[in-house]
Amino acid sequence: MGKNARMAVVGLAMTLISVTLSAVPAFSHCEIPCGIYGDEMRFAMMKEDIATIEKSMKQIVELSKQASPNYNQIVRWVQNKENHADKIRDVVTQYFLAQRVKPVLPKGSAEHDAYLNKLELLHEMIVTSMKCKQTTDLAHVEKLKQLVDRFEKAYLGH
């Protein structure tokens, strides 16, 4: 590479570094502010995921009791259960926490308390979906159902 080409590359690199370091962060609510939201759809999706987790847990337990368990099927149900628990976690974090639930001030106001309640419910949903991945305990499924219902009421206001 010739001297002029090297200088051009260095100049381009310096320009990119300068632009990157001086960029002003954009504080938009949505990743791409499109105005198209499907809150109700997200709740329906999470409820469907919970039903799938529940069925998967029951299938894992049932197949494991057989005299000659079909480990291939058990593994498939475990993967299915874990994938749907991940979907719930992704909707909670990527959709609700990152894009939909906004901080509210002043602290101590009713709106701020409602905001904190939503955060607590979302955090519990993440932890409980993780518990669903770790076990076949249907109590975690029931708790997740209740949490989604409570968050839906808190979020949608009904």
- 9: helix, strand or coil: helix
pLDDT grade for 11, boundaries at 50, 70 and 90 = low
Q: Is the preceding peptide bond at 25 cis, omega within 30 degrees of 0?
A: no
Give the least confident one: 24-28, 55-59, 105-109, 141-145.
Answer: 24-28
Helix axes of 39-65 and 138-156: crossing angle, nearest 10 degrees: 180
Residue 114 has a pLDDT of 97
**Taking all residues of the chain, what is their mean pLDDT, rounded to a whole number?**
87
pLDDT grade for 75, boundaries at 50, 70 and 90 = very high
Residues 84, 49 contacting (CB under 8 angstroms): yes
**How many angstroms separate the CA atoms of 134 and 119, rounded?**
23
Q: What is the DSSP string of 95-122?
A: IIIIII-----STTSHHHHHHHHHHHHH
Residue 145 has a pLDDT of 98
Task: Please give the structure tokens belonging to residue 21.
Answer: 């370091």
Does 15 have pLDDT greater than 70? no
Which residues, 6 or more positions from 123, have their beta carbon under 8 angstroms from its beta carbon? none
Give the least confident one: 36-40, 123-127, 128-132, 152-156.
Answer: 36-40
pTM equals: 0.78
